[in-house]
């Protein structure tokens, strides 16, 4: 059913848990989260993916397809989902780029 988006669903590991309390949600963002927010702001600023549209997509997709993802990861997942939906990047291209990033992490 979600075949093109399986590349995103495959990133959810069994150890991943969704935040359930305010202290879990009210924390300092990790560096990747701040970078992701900056990327979303740039996409909005350039008219590629409006922030309000992204937030609506996060609400809709975050409570359906991506409900098991941590709240702070949803911006990344929903943005990638939308970019694939619009044909900006294919699932194969995204998977290849994710593999490159994983390889970099394993080298360090």
Which sequence spans correspond to the domains of the chain? Answer: 31-106
| pLDDT tier at 85, thresholds 50, 70, 90 | very high
59: tokens are 């609400």
Among 57, 105, 46, CA closest to 80: 57
| pLDDT tier at 94, thresholds 50, 70, 90 | very high
| pLDDT tier at 84, thresholds 50, 70, 90 | very high
Q: Round to whole Å and give the CA distance between 29 and 16.
A: 17
Number of Cβ atoms within 10 Å of the Cβ of 15: 5
Q: Round to whole Å and give the CA distance between 5 and 97.
A: 15
Fold of 31-106: Cyclin A; domain 1 (1.10.472)
| pLDDT tier at 3, thresholds 50, 70, 90 | confident
Distances (CA, A) of 108 to 52, 98, 101: 37, 16, 11
């Amino acid at each position: 059913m979600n075949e093109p988006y399986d590349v995103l669903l495959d990133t959810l590991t069994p150890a991943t848990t969704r935040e359930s309390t305010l202290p879990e949600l009210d924390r300092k963002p990790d560096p990747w989260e701040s970078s992701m927010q900056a990327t979303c702001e740039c996409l909005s600023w350039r008219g590629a993916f409006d922030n309000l549209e992204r937030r609506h997509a996060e609400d809709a997709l975050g409570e359906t397809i991506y409900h098991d993802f941590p709240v702070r990861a949803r911006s990344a997942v929903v943005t990638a989902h939308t970019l694939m939906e619009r044909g900006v990047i294919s699932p194969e291209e995204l998977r290849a780029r994710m593999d490159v990033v994983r390889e970099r992490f394993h080298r360090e």
